[in-house]
């Protein structure tokens, strides 16, 4: 996939370039900087840096990689955190842009970043991550490159308290670790509201129609069926019947046309590369990975029913005994179709990322 977050040691990344979180004097420092110098061979890398001299905050320079797997090291100077009132956000964004433009100038196909300024420079990790993801995703809208954000400690990826609470609530409510359908009977029996956040998003409503579910063991319970459903989310019987013979590729292309999207718009938002999407378009019988199919569903902002239909064409389903599936289901149900936020969340919960 064009962009992904990985848990690794950046000095071991087998990309054309890795990014060093450098200081303005380009001297070997501590943390990521020190590790990169040591892995590259301290003397040779420092000697080349000394020839360059200095680099301003928000800018980047490039050297050879020497003993590193990477051919090049891009030395990017991020800002020191001083409370956020001295333009640190603009400087950090510039650091990523300068690095990416330098990689583009050298016609590099792959690059690995650390989370710049989030170590000894003290930049809040959540804010640093947001800036990194924004700049990288905007660059990828107009450029083709494999970009990795490398974190040595998974704790570097922190979800907002609200999102963390909502997802944990959703998983705890619906997760079935016995591989059987699980029901929150207290919610169902009370015909109550399922509260995702302090905004009290209503899933079940008091005035909704009641229905009953009967289990194999004879147990039953009543639950609410919403009486008013958005027509855009309802699959008509004709749609289902007419699509029986469609392959995954055929259905995907039909939905893209129906949504008025372009191919480029879809595969960019899905975090897929152009070559893979070309294979899907040109091969009627193409069978994607589940992560690829879900990424395309997110890109097209499909409803949960539409997503299930698309997955079915590739031989997959959404299971409530799978935390990965539940996280995706949460984002679709709440209509939060931000691919990068979804992947941050999946990474946080140590799940596979969406894309190819």
Q: What is the DSSP string of 42-58?
A: HHHHHHHHHHH----TT
CA-CA distance, 25 to 95, in Å (whole number)? 15
Question: Is residue 354 assigned to a domain?
Answer: no
Sign of the torsion angle spanned by Cα atoms 243, 248, 249, 254: positive
Question: Is residue 12 assigned to a domain?
Answer: yes
Among residues 187, 202, 225, which one ends one of the domains?
A: 225
Say if residue 199's pLDDT is above 80.
no
Are 137 and 31 contained in the same domain? yes
Question: Is residue 221 assigned to a domain?
Answer: yes
Q: In the predicted model, what is the mean pLDDT of residues 28-46?
A: 90
Question: Is residue 353 assigned to a domain?
Answer: no
Residues 6+ away with beta carbon under 8 Å from 343 = 4, 5, 271, 353, 354, 355
Report the largest interatomic distance among the alpha carbons of the chain, rounded to a whole angstrom. Answer: 80
Are 221 and 245 contained in the same domain? no
Q: In the predicted model, what is the mean pLDDT of residues 285-314?
A: 94
What range does the domain containing 250 cover?
Answer: 231-348
Cβ-contact 169, 196 below 8 angstroms: yes
CA-CA distance, 302 to 255, in Å (whole number)? 9
Are 20 and 63 contained in the same domain? yes
Among residues 110, 127, 156, which one ends one of the domains?
A: 156
Question: Is residue 120 assigned to a domain?
Answer: yes
Q: What are phi and psi of 18, to 5 degrees?
A: -120, 155
Say if residue 240's pLDDT is above 60.
no
CATH code for position 28: 3.40.220.10
**pLDDT for res 236:** 56
More confident residue, 266 or 153: 266
Q: In the predicted model, what is the mean pLDDT of residues 240-246?
A: 63
Among residues 169, 203, 225, which one ends one of the domains?
A: 225
Say if residue 213's pLDDT is above 80.
no
Torsion of CA 181, 186, 192, 195, to 10 degrees: -70
Are 10 and 149 contained in the same domain? yes
Expressed in angstroms, the distance from the first to the final Cα of the chain is 5
Are 242 and 219 contained in the same domain? no
Q: Which two tokens stand for residue 220?
A: 């039953």
The structural domain count of the chain equals 3
pLDDT band at 153 (very low <50, low <70, confident <90, very high): low
Say which range, 62-76, 146-160, 224-238, 245-259, has the weakest mean pLDDT.
224-238
Given the structure tokens 């259905």, which residue do they identify?
A: 251
Question: Is residue 330 assigned to a domain?
Answer: yes
Report the percent of the chain where pLDDT is more than 70. Answer: 78
Say if residue 207's pLDDT is above 50.
no
CA-CA distance, 167 to 170, in Å (whole number)? 5
Are 82 and 139 contained in the same domain? yes
Cβ-contact 81, 121 below 8 angstroms: yes
Are 167 and 119 contained in the same domain? no
**pLDDT for res 171:** 85
The average confidence (pLDDT) of the chain is: 82
Cβ-contact 307, 291 below 8 angstroms: no
CA-CA distance, 233 to 245, in Å (whole number)? 22
**pLDDT for res 99:** 97
Residues 6+ away with beta carbon under 8 Å from 180 = 321
Say if residue 233's pLDDT is above 70.
no
Say which range, 67-76, 93-102, 282-291, has the weakest mean pLDDT.
282-291
**pLDDT for res 227:** 43
155-165 b/e (C-beta count within 10 Å ≥ 16 → b): ebbebeeebee
**pLDDT for res 316:** 93
pLDDT band at 156 (very low <50, low <70, confident <90, very high): low
Are 84 and 136 contained in the same domain? yes
CA-CA distance, 261 to 304, in Å (whole number)? 19
Question: Is residue 186 assigned to a domain?
Answer: yes
Say which range, 48-62, 100-114, 308-322, has the weakest mean pLDDT.
308-322
pLDDT band at 125 (very low <50, low <70, confident <90, very high): confident
Given the structure tokens 């990344």, which residue do they identify?
A: 13
Q: In the predicted model, what is the mean pLDDT of residues 291-309?
A: 95
Q: Which two tokens stand for residue 335?
A: 């209509």
Say which range, 112-116, 186-190, 222-226, 242-246, has the weakest mean pLDDT.
186-190
pLDDT band at 226 (very low <50, low <70, confident <90, very high): very low
Q: In the predicted model, what is the mean pLDDT of residues 327-335?
A: 94
Are 344 and 248 contained in the same domain? yes
Cβ-contact 55, 22 below 8 angstroms: yes
Angle at 116 between CA 112 and CA 117, to 5 degrees: 165
Give start and end residues of each alpha helix (H) in the chain.
Answer: 31-40, 42-52, 88-105, 125-142, 161-174, 185-190, 237-242, 248-259, 263-269, 274-282, 290-299, 304-313, 323-333, 339-348
**pLDDT for res 203:** 35
Under the phi-then-psi rule, with left for phi > 0, alpha for psi from -120 to 50, and beta for the rest, what region is 221?
Answer: beta
Q: In the predicted model, what is the mean pLDDT of residues 243-267?
A: 90
Say if residue 10's pLDDT is above 50.
yes
Are 265 and 330 contained in the same domain? yes
Are 198 and 147 contained in the same domain? no
Say if residue 201's pLDDT is above 50.
no
pLDDT band at 189 (very low <50, low <70, confident <90, very high): very low
Are 216 and 323 contained in the same domain? no
> What Rg, from alpha-carbon coordinates, does the chain have?
24
């Amino acid at each position: 996939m064009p962009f992904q977050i990985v848990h690794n040691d950046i000095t071991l990344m087998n990309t054309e370039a890795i990014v060093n979180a450098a200081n303005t004097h380009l001297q070997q420092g501590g943390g990521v900087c020190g590790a990169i110098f040591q892995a590259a061979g301290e003397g040779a890398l420092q000697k080349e840096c000394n020839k360059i001299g200095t680099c301003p905050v928000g800018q980047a320079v490039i050297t050879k990689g020497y003993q590193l797997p990477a051919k090049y090291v891009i030395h990017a100077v991020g800002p020191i955190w001083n409370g956020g009132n001295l333009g640190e956000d603009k400087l950090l964004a510039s650091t990523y842009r300068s690095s990416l433009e330098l990689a583009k100038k050298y016609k590099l196909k792959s690059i690995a970043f650390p989370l710049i300024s989030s170590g000894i420079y003290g930049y809040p990790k959540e804010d640093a991550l947001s800036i990194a993801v924004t700049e990288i995703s905007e660059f990828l809208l107009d450029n083709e490159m494999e970009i990795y954000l490398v974190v040595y400690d998974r704790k570097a990826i922190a979800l907002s308290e609200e999102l963390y609470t909502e997802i944990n609530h959703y998983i705890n409510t619906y997760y079935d670790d016995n591989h059987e359908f699980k029901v929150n009977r207290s919610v169902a029996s009370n015909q109550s509201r399922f509260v995702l956040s302090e905004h009290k998003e209503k899933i079940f409503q008091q005035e909704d129609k009641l229905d009953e579910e009967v289990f194999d063991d004879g147990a039953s319970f009543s639950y609410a069926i919403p009486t008013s459903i958005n027509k855009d989310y309802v699959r008509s019987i004709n749609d289902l019947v007419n699509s029986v013979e469609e392959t995954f590729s055929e259905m995907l292309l039909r939905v893209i046309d129906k949504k008025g999207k372009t191919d480029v718009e879809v595969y960019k938002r899905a975090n897929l590369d152009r070559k893979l999407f070309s294979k899907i378009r040109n091969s009627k019988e193409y069978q994607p990975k589940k992560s690829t199919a879900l990424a395309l569903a997110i890109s097209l902002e499909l409803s949960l029913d539409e997503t299930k239909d698309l997955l079915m064409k590739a031989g997959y389903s959404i299971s409530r005994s799978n935390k990965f599936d539940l996280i995706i289901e949460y984002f679709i149900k709440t209509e939060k179709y931000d691919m990068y936020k979804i992947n941050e969340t999946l990474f946080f919960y140590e799940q596979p990322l969406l894309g190819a």
